[in-house]
Amino acid sequence: MMKKIVGILLVMGVLTWGAYAEGVPEVSSQVSKEVDTSYAFGMVIGSDLKQTGLVFNYNAFVRGLKESMEDKETRFTMDDAVLKVQTAFMAAMAKRAEENRQKEAAFLEQNSKKPGILLTSSGLQYEVIIEGSGQKPEGSDMVQVNYKGTLTDGTVFDSSYSRGEPAEFPLDAVIPGWTEGIQLMSEGAFYRLYVPSKLAYGEQGAGSVIPPYSTLIFEVELLSILEDPEVGLEETEPGEEAPEEPVEEAE
């Protein structure tokens, strides 16, 4: 059916060219624009629907589209159609989630057997690329890091390197896998963290970027533990000036 649709578009293109050759360029331009726009809509809709994993009967799809747009009598009421679409989406999402769950379990099992992979009691896996020599942060500390996050297939979904500057955040405000993993590191360390979905975004995933049951792989450099700007300030009575922030003494 897809070939048939492309064939129809090609025929329309030939007819358009014929009209142009006969000296009617304004008609040609309009038809060509409609063809291009219609094809573009098909591409966008098809790309979105492909991600669902649903299988379509193109004849029925085009018929439903045409009859609805032309206000003709349709096989279902709109309420029934919406219910069918929702049911199909839910079934497809459940199927894909289960497939992802099985893939994740297989990946984590195989990865845990690789040389250099360490495992914590929570299920977090990690490997030490470069060991640090500074302090280790605590769970409520603010840290500065450089990192790159990928899915197990290598897809990059986030990177401070691509933004051109390190990230800063409190460890108690990120996913559990990060909170735990960064506390294993000393300042100056470079680790690779393998964060299971249960320590990340779980069975829900994160929008269209991170699918359900996704193990996330982070390459992380712990640059420094940042001081709380409130540390060192004494409480003052109203009207009193706060003392200046302490200045490090020169060695």
For tokens 């060219």, the residue is 17
Question: How far apart, in Å, are the Cα atoms of 41 and each of 28, 36, 86, 182?
Answer: 20, 9, 21, 45
Tell me the pLDDT of the chain (251 aa) as tens digits.
334 444 444 444 433 444 444 454 555 677 788 889 989 988 998 888 887 788 889 899 989 989 999 999 999 999 999 999 999 989 988 888 899 999 999 999 999 999 999 999 999 999 999 999 999 999 989 999 999 999 999 999 999 999 999 999 999 999 999 999 999 999 999 999 999 999 999 998 898 789 999 999 999 999 999 976 554 434 433 333 333 333 333 33
Residue ranges per domain, the chain?
A: 2-75, 118-226
CA atoms of 162 and 142, how far apart (whole Å) = 22
CA atoms of 131 and 141, how far apart (whole Å) = 20
Nearest to 101 by CA among 214, 199, 200, 207: 214
Q: Would you state the CATH architecture of domain 118-226?
A: Roll (3.10)
Task: Show the CA angle centred on residue 37, arms to residues 34 and 42, nearest 5°.
Answer: 120
Q: Which residues are catalytic?
A: 147, 157-158, 175, 201, 218
What is the full DSSP assignment across 14-36?
Answer: HHHHHHHHTT-HHHHHHHHHHHH
**Which phi and psi angles does 186 have, rounded to 5°?**
-100, 155
* 214 residue type, one letter: S
What is the full DSSP assignment across 44-67?
Answer: HHHHHHHTTT----HHHHHHHHHH
Residue-level length of the chain: 251
